[in-house]
Structure 1
Protein backbone atom coordinates (compact mmCIF):
# COMPACT_ATOMS: atom_id res chain seq x y z
CA UNK A 1 0.00 0.00 0.00
CA UNK A 2 1.24 3.48 -0.87
CA UNK A 3 0.94 6.31 1.65
CA UNK A 4 1.51 10.03 1.26
CA UNK A 5 5.00 11.30 1.95
CA UNK A 6 3.64 13.35 4.84
CA UNK A 7 2.11 10.23 6.47
CA UNK A 8 5.30 8.24 5.92
CA UNK A 9 7.53 11.03 7.25
CA UNK A 10 5.49 11.24 10.46
CA UNK A 11 5.52 7.44 10.94
CA UNK A 12 9.27 7.08 10.35
CA UNK A 13 10.18 9.98 12.63
CA UNK A 14 8.03 8.43 15.38
CA UNK A 15 9.83 5.10 14.86
CA UNK A 16 13.20 6.81 15.12
CA UNK A 17 12.20 8.65 18.28
CA UNK A 18 11.05 5.38 19.89
CA UNK A 19 14.19 3.40 18.99
CA UNK A 20 15.88 2.14 22.15
CA UNK A 21 19.30 3.57 22.90
CA UNK A 22 21.22 0.26 22.85
CA UNK A 23 19.89 -0.64 19.41
CA UNK A 24 20.60 2.85 18.10
CA UNK A 25 24.20 2.87 19.39
CA UNK A 26 24.89 -0.63 18.04
CA UNK A 27 23.45 0.17 14.61
CA UNK A 28 25.18 3.56 14.39
CA UNK A 29 28.56 1.92 15.15
CA UNK A 30 28.00 -0.56 12.31
CA UNK A 31 26.94 2.19 9.92
CA UNK A 32 29.95 4.35 10.73
CA UNK A 33 32.30 1.40 10.31
CA UNK A 34 30.73 0.54 6.95
CA UNK A 35 30.98 4.16 5.79
CA UNK A 36 34.67 4.38 6.67
CA UNK A 37 35.31 1.33 4.45
CA UNK A 38 33.58 2.81 1.38
CA UNK A 39 35.96 3.86 -1.42
CA UNK A 40 34.02 7.13 -1.78
CA UNK A 41 34.78 8.01 1.85
CA UNK A 42 38.40 6.88 1.71
CA UNK A 43 39.21 8.94 -1.40
CA UNK A 44 37.13 12.06 -0.60
CA UNK A 45 39.02 15.27 0.05
CA UNK A 46 35.84 17.24 0.80
CA UNK A 47 32.85 15.65 2.53
CA UNK A 48 29.39 17.19 2.97
CA UNK A 49 27.67 16.12 6.20
CA UNK A 50 24.68 17.52 8.05
CA UNK A 51 24.66 18.41 11.72
CA UNK A 52 22.22 15.77 12.91
CA UNK A 53 19.11 16.26 14.99
CA UNK A 54 18.56 14.10 18.09
CA UNK A 55 16.51 11.41 16.29
CA UNK A 56 18.87 11.10 13.30
CA UNK A 57 22.04 9.04 12.93
CA UNK A 58 24.61 10.96 14.96
CA UNK A 59 26.95 12.72 12.52
CA UNK A 60 29.36 14.13 15.13
CA UNK A 61 31.65 11.05 14.91
CA UNK A 62 31.72 11.35 11.11
CA UNK A 63 32.72 14.99 11.29
CA UNK A 64 35.45 14.31 13.86
CA UNK A 65 36.79 11.34 11.88
CA UNK A 66 36.86 13.30 8.61
CA UNK A 67 38.62 16.23 10.20
CA UNK A 68 41.14 13.87 11.86
CA UNK A 69 41.84 12.35 8.42
CA UNK A 70 42.47 15.83 7.03
CA UNK A 71 39.30 15.97 4.95
CA UNK A 72 37.50 19.27 4.53
CA UNK A 73 34.05 19.04 6.13
CA UNK A 74 31.23 21.15 4.74
CA UNK A 75 27.74 21.49 6.21
CA UNK A 76 24.56 22.94 4.71
CA UNK A 77 23.23 26.42 5.25
CA UNK A 78 19.73 27.18 4.01
CA UNK A 79 18.99 30.10 1.74
CA UNK A 80 15.77 31.75 0.55
CA UNK A 81 13.56 29.91 -1.96
CA UNK A 82 14.39 26.49 -0.48
CA UNK A 83 17.98 26.61 -1.69
CA UNK A 84 21.09 25.72 0.26
CA UNK A 85 24.85 26.02 0.10
CA UNK A 86 27.65 24.13 1.82
CA UNK A 87 30.08 25.91 4.12
CA UNK A 88 33.47 24.63 5.32
CA UNK A 89 33.65 24.28 9.10
CA UNK A 90 36.48 24.13 11.61
CA UNK A 91 36.94 24.56 15.36
CA UNK A 92 36.32 28.32 15.07
CA UNK A 93 33.00 28.09 13.21
CA UNK A 94 30.06 29.79 14.91
CA UNK A 95 26.63 28.19 14.56
CA UNK A 96 23.07 29.37 15.06
CA UNK A 97 19.84 27.41 15.36
CA UNK A 98 17.40 27.82 12.48
CA UNK A 99 13.61 27.81 12.65
CA UNK A 100 13.84 24.10 11.70
CA UNK A 101 15.79 23.44 14.92
CA UNK A 102 18.99 22.70 12.99
CA UNK A 103 22.39 24.25 13.59
CA UNK A 104 23.91 26.12 10.64
CA UNK A 105 27.20 28.00 10.28
CA UNK A 106 26.85 31.77 10.64
CA UNK A 107 29.81 32.51 8.38
CA UNK A 108 32.57 30.63 6.60
CA UNK A 109 33.75 29.76 3.12
CA UNK A 110 31.10 28.49 0.72
CA UNK A 111 32.36 25.46 -1.19
CA UNK A 112 30.95 24.93 -4.70
CA UNK A 113 29.25 21.64 -5.53
CA UNK A 114 31.98 20.59 -7.95
CA UNK A 115 34.53 20.65 -5.10
CA UNK A 116 32.49 18.29 -2.88
CA UNK A 117 33.64 14.70 -3.43
CA UNK A 118 31.10 12.93 -1.23
CA UNK A 119 27.78 13.97 0.21
CA UNK A 120 26.32 12.02 3.14
CA UNK A 121 22.64 12.69 2.43
CA UNK A 122 20.17 12.74 5.33
CA UNK A 123 16.61 11.50 5.25
CA UNK A 124 13.78 9.96 7.19
CA UNK A 125 13.52 6.69 5.24
CA UNK A 126 15.34 4.99 2.38
CA UNK A 127 14.93 2.03 0.08
CA UNK A 128 17.91 -0.18 -0.63
CA UNK A 129 17.87 1.11 -4.23
CA UNK A 130 18.46 4.73 -3.15
CA UNK A 131 14.94 6.12 -3.04
CA UNK A 132 14.88 8.70 -0.24
CA UNK A 133 12.17 10.27 1.88
CA UNK A 134 13.50 13.60 3.10
CA UNK A 135 12.16 16.08 5.61
CA UNK A 136 9.75 17.71 3.19
CA UNK A 137 11.47 20.95 2.26
CA UNK A 138 13.03 19.78 -1.00
CA UNK A 139 16.38 21.41 -0.17
CA UNK A 140 18.47 18.32 -0.89
CA UNK A 141 16.56 17.36 -4.04
CA UNK A 142 17.15 20.85 -5.43
CA UNK A 143 20.85 20.72 -4.57
CA UNK A 144 21.36 17.16 -5.77
CA UNK A 145 19.76 17.96 -9.14
CA UNK A 146 23.00 19.78 -10.05
CA UNK A 147 25.47 17.76 -7.96
CA UNK A 148 27.72 15.30 -9.77
CA UNK A 149 29.70 13.80 -6.86
CA UNK A 150 29.07 10.60 -4.91
CA UNK A 151 26.10 10.34 -2.55
CA UNK A 152 25.68 7.93 0.35
CA UNK A 153 22.92 7.74 2.96
CA UNK A 154 23.08 5.98 6.31
CA UNK A 155 19.90 4.13 7.29
CA UNK A 156 19.20 2.52 10.64
CA UNK A 157 17.22 -0.71 10.23
CA UNK A 158 14.01 1.09 11.21
CA UNK A 159 14.56 3.54 8.32
CA UNK A 160 14.70 0.90 5.59
CA UNK A 161 11.52 1.05 3.52
CA UNK A 162 9.88 -1.10 0.89
CA UNK A 163 9.99 0.31 -2.66
CA UNK A 164 6.24 0.93 -2.78
CA UNK A 165 5.70 2.62 0.60
CA UNK A 166 5.43 6.10 -0.92
CA UNK A 167 5.04 7.51 -4.39
CA UNK A 168 8.16 9.20 -5.73
CA UNK A 169 7.80 12.63 -7.28
CA UNK A 170 9.50 13.49 -10.59
CA UNK A 171 11.88 15.88 -8.81
CA UNK A 172 13.02 13.29 -6.21
CA UNK A 173 16.72 12.48 -6.54
CA UNK A 174 17.95 9.05 -5.49
CA UNK A 175 21.25 8.51 -3.70
CA UNK A 176 24.01 6.32 -5.14
CA UNK A 177 24.28 4.09 -2.09
CA UNK A 178 22.28 3.37 1.05
CA UNK A 179 24.26 1.75 3.84
CA UNK A 180 22.43 -0.28 6.49
CA UNK A 181 23.78 -1.81 9.70
CA UNK A 182 23.30 -5.33 8.36
CA UNK A 183 25.09 -4.59 5.10
CA UNK A 184 22.16 -5.30 2.80
Structure 2
Protein backbone atom coordinates (compact mmCIF):
# COMPACT_ATOMS: atom_id res chain seq x y z
CA UNK A 1 0.00 0.00 0.00
CA UNK A 2 1.34 3.42 -0.89
CA UNK A 3 0.72 6.49 1.20
CA UNK A 4 0.39 10.10 0.15
CA UNK A 5 3.20 12.52 0.93
CA UNK A 6 0.90 14.20 3.47
CA UNK A 7 0.28 10.88 5.28
CA UNK A 8 3.98 10.02 5.25
CA UNK A 9 4.87 13.50 6.47
CA UNK A 10 2.54 13.09 9.47
CA UNK A 11 3.93 9.62 10.24
CA UNK A 12 7.57 10.76 10.12
CA UNK A 13 6.86 13.84 12.26
CA UNK A 14 5.12 11.60 14.83
CA UNK A 15 8.16 9.29 14.85
CA UNK A 16 10.46 12.26 15.43
CA UNK A 17 8.28 13.53 18.28
CA UNK A 18 8.37 10.12 19.96
CA UNK A 19 12.16 9.79 19.95
CA UNK A 20 13.83 9.35 23.33
CA UNK A 21 15.53 12.64 24.23
CA UNK A 22 18.90 11.08 25.13
CA UNK A 23 18.99 8.88 22.03
CA UNK A 24 18.07 11.84 19.85
CA UNK A 25 20.77 14.04 21.41
CA UNK A 26 23.45 11.37 20.83
CA UNK A 27 22.33 10.84 17.22
CA UNK A 28 22.27 14.60 16.53
CA UNK A 29 25.75 15.06 18.01
CA UNK A 30 27.11 12.14 15.96
CA UNK A 31 25.59 13.52 12.74
CA UNK A 32 26.88 17.02 13.49
CA UNK A 33 30.41 15.61 13.92
CA UNK A 34 30.01 13.78 10.62
CA UNK A 35 28.90 17.04 8.95
CA UNK A 36 31.93 18.97 10.28
CA UNK A 37 34.22 16.36 8.70
CA UNK A 38 32.73 16.81 5.21
CA UNK A 39 34.90 18.60 2.64
CA UNK A 40 31.92 20.78 1.67
CA UNK A 41 31.63 22.05 5.28
CA UNK A 42 35.36 22.62 5.61
CA UNK A 43 35.51 24.61 2.34
CA UNK A 44 32.34 26.64 2.92
CA UNK A 45 32.59 30.30 3.82
CA UNK A 46 28.81 30.86 3.72
CA UNK A 47 26.51 28.15 5.09
CA UNK A 48 22.72 28.15 4.86
CA UNK A 49 20.98 26.60 7.87
CA UNK A 50 17.48 26.76 9.28
CA UNK A 51 16.27 27.85 12.69
CA UNK A 52 14.87 24.48 13.69
CA UNK A 53 11.46 23.80 15.22
CA UNK A 54 11.03 21.54 18.26
CA UNK A 55 10.69 18.21 16.41
CA UNK A 56 13.37 18.96 13.79
CA UNK A 57 17.09 18.23 13.91
CA UNK A 58 18.41 20.87 16.35
CA UNK A 59 20.41 23.34 14.26
CA UNK A 60 21.45 25.62 17.15
CA UNK A 61 24.73 23.69 17.73
CA UNK A 62 25.47 23.77 13.97
CA UNK A 63 24.94 27.53 13.86
CA UNK A 64 27.16 28.09 16.90
CA UNK A 65 29.88 25.81 15.50
CA UNK A 66 29.87 27.53 12.09
CA UNK A 67 30.02 30.99 13.65
CA UNK A 68 32.77 29.88 16.06
CA UNK A 69 34.78 28.78 13.01
CA UNK A 70 34.31 32.23 11.47
CA UNK A 71 31.84 31.17 8.79
CA UNK A 72 28.90 33.31 7.70
CA UNK A 73 25.54 31.70 8.52
CA UNK A 74 22.45 32.59 6.51
CA UNK A 75 18.91 31.54 7.39
CA UNK A 76 15.71 31.51 5.32
CA UNK A 77 13.02 34.17 5.21
CA UNK A 78 9.79 33.38 3.37
CA UNK A 79 8.48 35.64 0.64
CA UNK A 80 5.14 35.77 -1.21
CA UNK A 81 4.31 33.07 -3.77
CA UNK A 82 6.12 30.35 -1.77
CA UNK A 83 9.52 31.85 -2.44
CA UNK A 84 12.30 32.41 0.08
CA UNK A 85 15.62 34.18 0.47
CA UNK A 86 18.56 33.72 2.81
CA UNK A 87 19.54 36.45 5.25
CA UNK A 88 22.80 36.75 7.21
CA UNK A 89 22.50 35.78 10.87
CA UNK A 90 24.36 38.13 13.20
CA UNK A 91 24.53 38.78 16.95
CA UNK A 92 22.06 41.67 16.62
CA UNK A 93 19.63 40.03 14.18
CA UNK A 94 16.02 40.68 15.15
CA UNK A 95 13.33 38.13 14.39
CA UNK A 96 9.63 38.00 13.74
CA UNK A 97 7.33 35.01 13.62
CA UNK A 98 6.20 33.94 10.15
CA UNK A 99 2.71 32.73 9.32
CA UNK A 100 4.05 29.20 9.91
CA UNK A 101 5.09 30.03 13.47
CA UNK A 102 8.78 30.01 12.53
CA UNK A 103 11.22 32.74 13.52
CA UNK A 104 12.64 34.62 10.55
CA UNK A 105 15.13 37.49 10.40
CA UNK A 106 13.37 40.86 10.15
CA UNK A 107 16.28 42.53 8.34
CA UNK A 108 19.89 41.96 7.32
CA UNK A 109 21.98 41.30 4.25
CA UNK A 110 20.36 38.97 1.72
CA UNK A 111 22.74 36.44 0.12
CA UNK A 112 21.97 35.25 -3.41
CA UNK A 113 22.05 31.56 -4.38
CA UNK A 114 25.48 32.05 -6.00
CA UNK A 115 26.93 33.40 -2.72
CA UNK A 116 26.02 30.35 -0.59
CA UNK A 117 28.67 27.61 -0.56
CA UNK A 118 26.75 24.95 1.37
CA UNK A 119 23.07 24.51 2.15
CA UNK A 120 22.00 22.13 4.91
CA UNK A 121 18.53 21.24 3.64
CA UNK A 122 15.82 20.28 6.15
CA UNK A 123 13.09 17.69 5.71
CA UNK A 124 11.03 15.09 7.53
CA UNK A 125 12.33 12.02 5.66
CA UNK A 126 15.16 11.20 3.25
CA UNK A 127 16.27 8.36 1.03
CA UNK A 128 19.95 7.47 0.95
CA UNK A 129 20.15 8.56 -2.71
CA UNK A 130 19.16 12.18 -1.94
CA UNK A 131 15.40 12.33 -2.23
CA UNK A 132 13.67 14.29 0.51
CA UNK A 133 10.20 14.64 1.88
CA UNK A 134 9.91 18.26 2.95
CA UNK A 135 7.26 20.07 4.93
CA UNK A 136 4.86 20.44 2.03
CA UNK A 137 5.26 24.09 1.07
CA UNK A 138 7.73 23.55 -1.76
CA UNK A 139 9.93 26.45 -0.62
CA UNK A 140 13.18 24.49 -0.74
CA UNK A 141 12.31 22.77 -4.04
CA UNK A 142 11.72 26.19 -5.62
CA UNK A 143 14.95 27.61 -4.17
CA UNK A 144 17.08 24.59 -5.03
CA UNK A 145 15.92 24.71 -8.66
CA UNK A 146 18.16 27.81 -9.03
CA UNK A 147 20.93 26.86 -6.60
CA UNK A 148 24.17 25.30 -7.81
CA UNK A 149 26.13 25.00 -4.55
CA UNK A 150 26.54 21.87 -2.44
CA UNK A 151 23.50 20.49 -0.57
CA UNK A 152 23.55 18.13 2.40
CA UNK A 153 20.70 16.84 4.56
CA UNK A 154 21.06 15.29 8.00
CA UNK A 155 18.84 12.26 8.61
CA UNK A 156 18.36 10.66 11.99
CA UNK A 157 17.86 6.87 11.68
CA UNK A 158 14.09 7.31 12.12
CA UNK A 159 14.06 9.68 9.09
CA UNK A 160 15.70 7.29 6.62
CA UNK A 161 13.14 6.07 4.09
CA UNK A 162 13.14 3.30 1.51
CA UNK A 163 13.81 4.41 -2.06
CA UNK A 164 10.25 3.88 -3.31
CA UNK A 165 8.37 5.11 -0.27
CA UNK A 166 6.90 8.12 -2.07
CA UNK A 167 6.54 8.99 -5.73
CA UNK A 168 9.00 11.50 -7.10
CA UNK A 169 7.27 14.54 -8.52
CA UNK A 170 8.58 16.73 -11.31
CA UNK A 171 9.32 19.69 -9.00
CA UNK A 172 11.15 17.61 -6.35
CA UNK A 173 14.78 18.67 -6.02
CA UNK A 174 17.19 16.06 -4.62
CA UNK A 175 20.10 16.90 -2.33
CA UNK A 176 23.70 16.01 -3.17
CA UNK A 177 24.25 14.02 -0.01
CA UNK A 178 22.23 12.58 2.88
CA UNK A 179 24.29 12.06 6.00
CA UNK A 180 22.95 9.37 8.30
CA UNK A 181 24.41 7.16 10.97
CA UNK A 182 25.75 3.71 10.09
CA UNK A 183 23.27 0.89 10.58
CA UNK A 184 23.15 -0.32 14.18
| Normalised TM-score (structure 1) | 0.98
Q: Secondary structure of 2:136's partner? A: coil
> What SS does the corresponding residue of 2:161 show, helix, strand or coil?
coil
Whether 2:149 is the aligned partner of 1:149: answer yes
Runs of 4+ in 1 over 2 A off after TM superposition: 181-184
Deviations 1:127-174 (A, max 9, x none): 000000000000000000000000000000000000111111111000
RMSD: 1.1
Output one character per residue of 1:9-28: Cα deviation in whole Å (capped at 9) or x when no partner: 00000000011101100100
Deviation digits for residues 91-114 of structure 1, max 9, x if unmatched?
Answer: 100011112121100000000110
- In 1, Cα distance between equivalents of 2:23 and 2:60: 18
Give structure 2 stretches of 5+ with no counterpart. none
CA distance in 1, matches of 2:24, 2:54: 11
Specify which structure has the bigger relative contact order, considering alpha-carbon pairs within 8 angstroms and separated by 6 or more residues: 1
Q: Find the aligned partners of 1:183 and 1:161 in 2 and give their Cα distance.
A: 13
**Number of residue equivalences:** 184
1:2 positional shift: 2.5
Kindly report which structure 2 residues correspond to 1:105-184, keeping only aligned pairs within 5 A, or say none. 105-182=105-182
Partner SS, residue 99 of structure 2: coil
CA distance 1:183–1:62, shift in 2 (3 Å): farther
Unaligned 5+ runs, structure 1: none
2:65, 2:181 → 1: CA distance?
19
Could you tell me which residue of structure 1 aligns to residue 98 of structure 2?
Answer: 98
Shift of 1:183: 7.4
- Describe the superposition over 1:60-93 as per-residue Cα deviations: whole angstroms up to 9, x where unpaired: 0110011111110000000000000000011100
Counterpart in 1 of 2:62?
A: 62
TM-score by length of 2: 0.98
- For 2:25 and 2:10, the matched residues in 1 are separated by 22
